[in-house]
Structure 1
Amino acid sequence: MLIGEVARRSGVSARMLRHYDSLGLVRPTGRSDAGYREYSGEDIRRIFHIESLRSLGLSLRDVKRALDDPGFVPSELVDDLIRQARERIASETELLTRLRRINAADPAGWEDVLQIVALLQALGSKSAGKRQRAALSSAEEVPVPVEALVEAVLSEKDPHVAGALRWALARSGESGLALLAEGLGSPVAEVRKRAVQSIAEIPDGEATALLRDALASPDIVVRGYAALALGARGVADAVPALIDMVVAGTNDVDAADALSTLASRPALTDRIATGLVDRLGHDTAEPFARRRLTQALADIPGTTASRALADLSHDEDRAVALTATYLLGMRDER
């Protein structure tokens, strides 16, 4: 079969067949009387084998090795091809993500595109200073797509850069909340922590609803940040979690301050005081937990807290009794 017919049947161009011949990959078995290449059935089978191996990503050199070396073991080469394919996929996925983010920013012209690209590159810089400047400038110049900000804040380890990123996210409104909510469910504890911290800095609205949901999180850190943020917003749902924080000694001073703020609302005063007193009488309350609970009663107004402190001034635990006595004296001076 002449080269033109082989090209038509195999789909491999005559030029490529000549290239295969020059490399020794597949040489036609014979020549016609006129000197044209003639391919046998075995030659054509080899051509199809070559194309099959090329479709896997093998170089022509590796194809020749695979076909000519009887002892050739493909496993190592296939492993290498898998690695290369994964690298290409990761690279293409990264490019696709970058293009989508640029498109989401709705640039008005190429100058905007260039600024967005520069900011995205800066957010991924190894320099904390560059990342921080990118976060701060994102809300003032061409805005960085919120998806990029969320990805950056959930992975940022530097506290100063993280603060700048949370500020930029808060400026962008509620558009990043869905992605941050996914972060709350991450298997990585640090990611969950960064997610709830970011949500806490976004103003009331859907963010408050997410923080309420976070009160039921199995992660004590997430529950704590959510409770503190909700307490600052005057949300009564945070009271049980805040009392738990006082008992556990986890950010207990901040939790006590939040309870004091909430207790300034008459409807919550007795509820908070009663909640603290109930935990004081709990059998499992450890000595240090009882002292923290006593201290937390200090800034809770009303007669319930005062009566509790009066009773505690005679407590068997001397540290608790002295603390309660001191706090009663402070209340009398007000």
Structure 2
Amino acid sequence: MIGDVARRSGVSARMLRHYESLGLVRPTGRTAAGYREYSGEDIRRIFHIESLRSLGLSLREVGSALDDPGFTPSGLVDDLIRRTRERIARETELLTRLRRIGAAEPAGWEDVLQIVALLQALGAESAAKRQRAALSSVEEVPAPVEALVEAVLSETDPNVAGALRWALARSGDDGLPLLAEGLGSPVAEVRKRAVQSIAEIPGEEATALLRSALTHPDIAVRGWAALALGPRGVADAVPTLVDMVAEEANDADAADALSALAGDPALADRIATGLVERLAPGVVDSSARRRLTQALADIPGTTASRALAELSHDEDHAVALTATYILKLRDVG
């Protein structure tokens, strides 16, 4: 009887009737009283149906799997894997969106709708729309920090990236842990965006993170960190900045950062010494020696002046001319 089968299988009588109407289950026969009669094989088929349904198969797919002798499960399983991954991705995206909305602490449904609209705009195809969203996240609707970090780490348009960094810097230092994770990304561009974003965030925590980035294995990350630390007065950046001048890696900006650091009299001689050590003949090529000599121009103190005086008689004519010109400017000053 259907009631007995329902109790034994755990499948409701209503669902058993539905299976029968679809042709998935066919009772072996009926009793004299007209009740459905299920054999042991019928009950095993019911269990097979439930097992396949637990994998996410539709009832139509279950029927094909059980009745088609030529049915091969590999293709269907691959399709189920694909659909499951897509579902997980959708659910993960929804969870992320909900977490961001919750982090913004909306006061009412109007706030929720505004935040949703902002999140959608941050992911828009139009660069102009993304830029407006970044600006409005400061001026109108506060954006969840997590959303800003994700946006800035993935943004390729320089204007939008600048707006996002500006917005992130004004949200405080809550985004620093996520940006620190960005420094560990396997993608070089993401690491660059992370350190550039950290550089625009004021405060001791950002400075500490930039200081730690001076030992990063990515030379570009070290360079951007050093450029940001120069104006912050962090002496640890000096060796990296000197290397950048010598290697022509943002050398003009590196020289400016060294000049900013040299405003501290205690650092001026240290910077000059670092530049002079790289100027020794045979250490770097001629063009690098000229750049290092030029960098001495804005370094005050006797160490820099003595070095320039010696370089004015250098065997490299271009270096000697550069040093002589700088000395004249210093005398005039």
Shared fold per TM-score greater than 0.5:
yes
Question: Match of 1:95?
Answer: 94
Partner Cα distance (1:230, 1:14) in 2: 73
Identity %: 82
Partner deviation per Cα, 1:237-296 (whole Å, 9 max, x = no partner): 111111010011001011111111111211111111111111101633111111100110
3-state secondary structure, aligned to 2:102: helix
Question: Match of 2:127?
Answer: 128
Superposed, 1:11-22 pairs within 5 Å as 11-22=10-21
Partner Cα distance (2:47, 2:283) in 1: 77
State the shift of 1:70 in Å. Answer: 2.1
State the shift of 1:306 in Å. Answer: 1.4
Instruction: State the Cα RMSD in Å.
Output: 1.0
Q: TM-score, length-normalised on structure 1?
A: 0.98
Question: Match of 2:293?
Answer: 294
State the shift of 1:204 in Å. Answer: 2.0
Number of residue pairs aligned between Structure 1 and Structure 2: 333
State the shift of 1:303 in Å. Answer: 1.7
| Matched AA of 2:200 | E
| Matched AA of 2:143 | V
Partner deviation per Cα, 1:75-112 (whole Å, 9 max, x = no partner): 01000000000000000011011111111111011110
State the shift of 1:54 in Å. Answer: 0.7
Partner Cα distance (1:330, 1:238) in 2: 27
Superposed, 1:109-258 pairs within 5 Å as 109-258=108-257
- The unaligned stretches of length 5 or more in structure 2 are none
Deviation >6 Å, runs of 4+: none
Question: Match of 2:30?
Answer: 31
Partner deviation per Cα, 1:295-332 (whole Å, 9 max, x = no partner): 10111112211111111111111111111111111111
- Alignment of 1:68 with 2:70, yes or no, is no
State the shift of 1:142 in Å. Answer: 2.7
Partner Cα distance (1:206, 1:44) in 2: 66
| Matched AA of 1:172 | S
- Alignment of 1:48 with 2:47, yes or no, is yes
Partner Cα distance (1:282, 1:83) in 2: 63
Partner deviation per Cα, 1:117-176 (whole Å, 9 max, x = no partner): 000111111111111111111112231110111011000101111111111111110111
Partner Cα distance (1:259, 1:201) in 2: 18
Partner Cα distance (1:295, 1:253) in 2: 10
3-state secondary structure, aligned to 1:27: coil
Partner Cα distance (1:173, 1:89) in 2: 32
State the shift of 1:17 in Å. Answer: 1.1
Q: TM-score, length-normalised on structure 2?
A: 0.98
